[in-house]
């Protein structure tokens, strides 16, 4: 993966909502930028309402179950993604939840407990009732960051946001 | 501040418990290493028991008050340091609390809410009933990290651990 792994297909002309995933050259951080055809309030709600989260987060072939969900500053979460017998648990705590604008949280895949990330989600309105999401994930080593990117997270992120597009239309 | 800001005074001969603060050359992280003349269980307890925390955390001329303290994975905290009319609030959430060994948490000075850090505290036993603490603080930019170091945190950290030495003797 290079420093720009955009799957850009010409959003200047047709506003295709491409997911642009880049690795920062200076710090061990992954940055995801994605636009949505919905105002930021609706995209924010899809990130904090557990009944909506389970409908879009992650790739299509995984089933998501939420064990714990307390999306407020000082709250925490745990969810599991399942594919047949495979089971992947994720958990973290919420440092800040600012309605319609910002979520700062920790994130950990339980299969790799040493790789705790500090994640920041920022939402900004765009003209035409659209919005832009910028999600960053910071870890303490470039090796850890690159292993995370190489783990196949890209597919899950891109498919997840396509599912979120569908949910926002519905 | 250089890459090694040790205030070393020859711990090979007298086991002086010097606080060694270094900035990582590769990632925006500060690392603090400190040894204590006490087993890790006692140093851990001084980090999780709020009645002990207020007796040592920070410089001597500040008074610490804890507003919120729920030191467990998924819990959160807020405390205030006061010097006369000056008031400095700090808050975060606990991602992981593994007894006697590890604490992973977020940390934010409320006067600079964009500078959220991911902090990790690791305790290891040493021979002779002593232990070593390694505390790292990761942020998302070198500028932010260097501003944190330049803010005078060094004095507070060194004095705080000297106060902790006194508490552990008492």
Query: DSSP letters along B62-92, please?
Result: -EEEEEEE--STT-EEEEEEEETTEEEEEEE
Assess whether pLDDT exceeds 60 at residue A133: yes
Separation of alpha carbons B37 and B164, rounded Å: 10
Which chain B residues are closer than 8 Å to A25 by Cβ?
A: none
Q: What's residue A16's pLDDT? A: 73
Sheet holding A19-23, edge to edge: A19-23, A29-36, A130-138, A117-126, A102-109, A86-98, A76-83, A63-69
The closest CB to that of A116, out of B68, B116, B118, belongs to B118
Residue A94: list chain B partners with CB under 8 A.
93
CA distance B163 to B159: 6
Residue found by looking up tokens 């292993």 in the block: A147
Q: Checking phi first, is residue A78 left (phi over 0); if not, alpha (psi -120 to 50) or beta?
A: beta
- Residues of chain A above pLDDT 90, percent: 84
- Give the model confidence (pLDDT) of A67-93 as tens digits: 999 999 999 999 999 999 999 999 999
Residues of B in contact with A116 (CB under 8 A): 95-96, 104, 118, 120
Asked if A106 lies within 8 A of B104 by C-beta distance, the reply is: yes
> Cβ contact (<8 Å) for B68 and A76?
no
Query: What's residue B8's pLDDT?
Result: 45
Nearest CA to B158 out of B135, B138, B127, B140 is that of: B135
pLDDT at A131 over 90: yes
**What would you measure as the largest C-alpha separation in chain A, in angstroms?**
45
CB A102 within 8 A of CB A95: no
Q: Is A55 a residue whose pLDDT tops 80?
A: yes
A-chain CB neighbours of B66 within 8 Å are none
Q: How far apart are CA B27 and CA B145, in angstroms?
A: 10
- SS3 of chain B: helix, strand, coil, percent, to 5: 30, 40, 30
The predicted pLDDT at position A88 comes to: 95
Q: A98 contacts in B (CB within 8 Å)?
A: none
Q: What does the pLDDT average to over A126-130?
A: 97
User: Distance, in angstroms, between A17 CA and closest chain B CA?
Assistant: 27
**Chain B window 59-88: which residues touch A at a Cβ cutoff of 8 Å?**
68, 70, 73-76
For residue B169, give the DSSP letter: H
Q: Cα(B58)–Cα(A131) distance, rounded to whole angstroms?
A: 42
pLDDT of amino acid B94: 98
Listed as ranges, residues in chain B with pLDDT below 70 are: 1-15
Identify which of B74, B92, B136 has the shortest CB distance to residue A95: B92
Cα Rg of chain A (Å, integer): 15
Distance of CA A87 to the CA centre of its chain: 19
Q: Name the residue among A111, A116, A113 with its Cα closest to residue A140.
A: A116
Strand pairing report for A86-98 and A63-69: unpaired
A116-125: average pLDDT: 98
Residue of A66, A76, A77, A135 to mutate when probing chain B, most B C-beta within 10 A = A76
A95·B116 Cβ contact <8 A: yes
Q: Please determine, for residue A13, whether its predicted confidence score (pLDDT) is greater than 80.
A: no
More confident residue, B72 or A10: B72
Query: Contact A136/B140, CB-based, under 8 Å?
Result: yes
B108 in A contact zone (CB under 8 Å): yes
Rounded to a whole number of angstroms, the distance from the CA of A29 to the nearest CA of chain B is 8
Distance, in Å, from the CA atom of A30 to the CA atom of A23, rounded to the nearest integer, reads 5
Binned at pLDDT 50, 70 and 90, residue A114 comes out as confident
Question: How many angstroms separate the most distant Cα atoms in chain B?
Answer: 45
Residue B106, Cβ neighbours under 10 Å: how many?
25
Q: Would you place residue A151 in the very low, low, confident or very high pLDDT band (cuts 50, 70, 90)? A: confident
CA B47 to CA B41: how far, in whole Å?
Answer: 10
- Search chain A and give the residue with CA nearest B113: A96
Mean pLDDT to the nearest integer, A13-27: 85
Q: Is A160 near chain B, with CB under 8 Å?
A: no
ipTM of the complex: 0.89
Per-chain mean pLDDT for chain A: 91
Nearest to A106 among B26, B95, B141 (CB): B95
């Amino acid at each position: 993966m290079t420093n720009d792994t955009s799957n850009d297909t010409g959003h200047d002309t047709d506003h295709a909502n491409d997911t642009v995933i880049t690795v920062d050259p200076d710090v061990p951080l992954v940055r995801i930028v994605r636009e949505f055809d919905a105002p930021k309030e609706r995209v924010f709600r899809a990130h904090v309402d557990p009944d909506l989260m389970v409908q879009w987060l992650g790739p299509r072939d995984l089933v998501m179950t939420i064990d714990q969900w307390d999306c407020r500053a000082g709250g925490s979460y745990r969810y599991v993604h399942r594919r047949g017998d495979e089971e992947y648990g994720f958990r973290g705590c919420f440092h800040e939840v600012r309605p319609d604008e910002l979520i700062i949280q920790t994130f950990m895949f339980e299969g790799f407990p040493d790789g705790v990330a500090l994640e920041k989600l920022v939402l900004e309105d765009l003209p035409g009732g659209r919005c832009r999401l910028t999600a960053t994930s910071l870890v303490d080593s470039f090796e850890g960051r690159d292993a995370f990117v190489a783990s196949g997270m890209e597919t899950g992120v891109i498919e997840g946001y396509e599912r979120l597009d569908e949910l926002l239309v519905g």
